[in-house]
Amino acid sequence: MRPCIKFRGKTIEHLLFVKHFNINGVFFEKAYSNLFFEKKRHSMTDFSNVIQVGVSMLLIVILGFTLTKLNIIPKCESDLINKFSARICFFALTFRSLAGNNIREMNFMPLAVGGLLVIIGYIICLPMLLIPMKSRFATYISTTFPTIYVNYVISGIPIFESMWDPAEATVIPIIFLSNDLIASPIFFILANVNEIMIENRRLVAEGKPKRKFSFRTIIQIILNMCQNMFLIGNIFGLIYASTAWKVCTFVREAMKLLGDCVLAFSLFCVGAFLSQHSLISCHWSQFVFAMIMKLIIAPLIMCLLCAAFKLPSRLARQCIILSGQPTAASCFAITDTAKLGTGVSSTMIFWSTFGFIPLLVLWVYVLDTLHLFPDN
């Protein structure tokens, strides 16, 4: 039997090598642990995984774009796939992430920092109202919303699971709530205010009384929120988690099978959607500003928020990486419903999907180099 040699509590199997040397007749030995090198190799593997997962996601988007553009798969068929994914699979994906967990053990700080990121994003973009241009308020709304409506789920989950244990992915549905509880309601309110302002200018010109912001508008905003199956899945998942019950096997497996469809279906449909729109459908200044805001300023703000709230290092890093995800594909449906900002949203969905991988790699490099929020 091979002897078990220990050095500071570690067996020899955990040591890369032990170096012996002699200084002035005194014998010394220095052990070089391979744990450090294993950690670096593990970090490099994760880094490589992020790139590979990102590339595979882009390939599915390109596949959807190409097949739809060549009419091999007509757009109407991809619309059916998208509808099935949105009506059924979105619910399963978010519900399974929360159900079976204990709500008392969940950390809701990601929702707090995610919500503040949305509010700060709206505030940072306010100076756009000072720029002399036609429809300043509409430009402000349409430019801001795609930069703060984050694809936490579709791109967030595979990127997250390439870096961390999938069991920790409960942070995703929690931070995702900031999209549909804060970002989209504010957008709908501002869009309705913009609509009222435009209509009132017309009514004044015609000598008619002005229209006011009504209770009916609030009801419409609530109804729009209730149609979002991501949000409904989150709500039911939180309700189930509050019971601390385990999910029975057949329900868990059904939710898993349906939830696993979301990534491929959604990425394919994003490509199909992009094939029908111009690659840049807004003014170049809006495009440049939105890309900088989305991929650079938003993660930087999240860094400051995580530091201010003293989030645990691992959780803080997870929130920062998630905040740098691209614009969610559902952003186009929301802006289309409001009849405001479809050009910016379609442009941001395409370019942020292609641009977030190199920026994500850069953010990981910066965090590692500056030893910010170490992933212990």
How does pLDDT run across 259-295, given as a tens digit for each residue? Answer: 888 778 877 887 887 788 777 888 888 999 999 999 9
pLDDT value at position 345? 86
Per the document, the length of the chain is: 376
**Tokens 């170096």 belong to residue:** 19
Query: Which DSSP state fits 9?
Result: T
If DSSP codes are grouped into helix, strand and coil, which group holds residue 174?
A: helix
pLDDT digits (tens, 9 = 90+) for 184-242: 888 988 888 888 888 888 887 877 777 776 777 778 777 776 777 777 888 888 888 88
pLDDT digits (tens, 9 = 90+) for 313-331: 999 999 999 999 999 877 8
Q: What is the pTM of this model?
A: 0.76
Q: Which domains does the chain have, with CATH numbers?
A: 42-369 (1.20.1530.20)
The count of C-alpha atoms lying within 13 angstroms of the C-alpha of 24, restricted to the half-sphere facing its C-beta, is 0
Which contiguous run of DSSP H or E holds residue 11? strand 10-11
Antiparallel, parallel or unpaired: β 15-23 and 10-11: unpaired
Is the Cβ–Cβ distance between 143 and 331 less than 8 Å? no
